Amino acid sequence: MQTYNRYGQVIEDEWWPSGQSNDINHNRQNTAYNQKVDSRTQKRRADEIKASKLSRILMYATIALALMLVFMQISRLAELAGQTKQIATLVTGIRELQNERNNLEVRLSMQQNINRVRDEAVYKLGMIQPEEGQIQVVSLNGYSAPAPMQTVDRTVGTE
């Protein structure tokens, strides 16, 4: 006859003339088996607790890593925004300097205009055109260049 324990496993019973000695033997077997089962259960539970702790640690590490990555991304975006603002400021400065350069070029061309220089010399400063004998060409430091052709224009500022 086969008997099953509480876990559904078959326990082979020996036949005894009196059921009492069979029960004692059976109780001894069940006690040893239960101790094995209890130690296995305890080991399994300890393994489950270790796995649970490891799982929890990995979860916290993953969350910490995710938060660190989010923080790094936010700091990069903030740095990028600062650099964008700095670039915009520099572009504005470049435009202002280009406008100033253009204004200075216009003023320079106005100052270099020969008619304006002559008018300012004659009318503002009271200068007169030189006579023909008053113009002399001088070479400096032994550098001799061909003498430029200069003429005296008597149309403006003659007295």
Task: For 104-126, write each residue's pLDDT tens digit.
Answer: 998 888 878 888 888 888 999 99
Query: CA-CA distance, 102 to 45, in Å (whole number)?
Result: 84
What's the residue count for the chain? 159
- Nearest-5° angle of CA 42, CA 45, CA 48? 155
Whether 22 shows a pLDDT value over 60: the answer reads: no
Q: Per mean pLDDT, which range of 29-33, 38-42, 59-63 is the poorest?
A: 29-33
Per the listing, tokens 């001088």 go with: 138
CB within 8 A of 33, min separation 6: which ones?
5
Other beta carbons within 10 Å of 3: 10
Among the listed residues 70, 81, 156, 69, the one whose alpha carbon sits nearest the alpha carbon of residue 119: 156
CA 75 to chain centre: 8
Task: Give the pLDDT confidence score for residue 157 in this predicted structure.
Answer: 45
Helix (H, G, I), strand (E, B) or coil at 149: coil
Whether 58 shows a pLDDT value over 60: the answer reads: yes
Cα torsion angle, 31, 37, 42, 45, sign: negative
Report pTM.
Answer: 0.39
- Nearest-5° angle of CA 147, CA 152, CA 157? 150
The fraction of the chain above a pLDDT of 90, given in percent, is 34
Task: Give the pLDDT confidence score for residue 151 in this predicted structure.
Answer: 54
157: left (phi over 0), alpha (psi -120 to 50) or beta: left
Average pLDDT over residues 62-69: 97
Task: Give the pLDDT confidence score for residue 102 in this predicted structure.
Answer: 94
Whether 34 shows a pLDDT value over 80: the answer reads: no
Average pLDDT over residues 6-34: 59
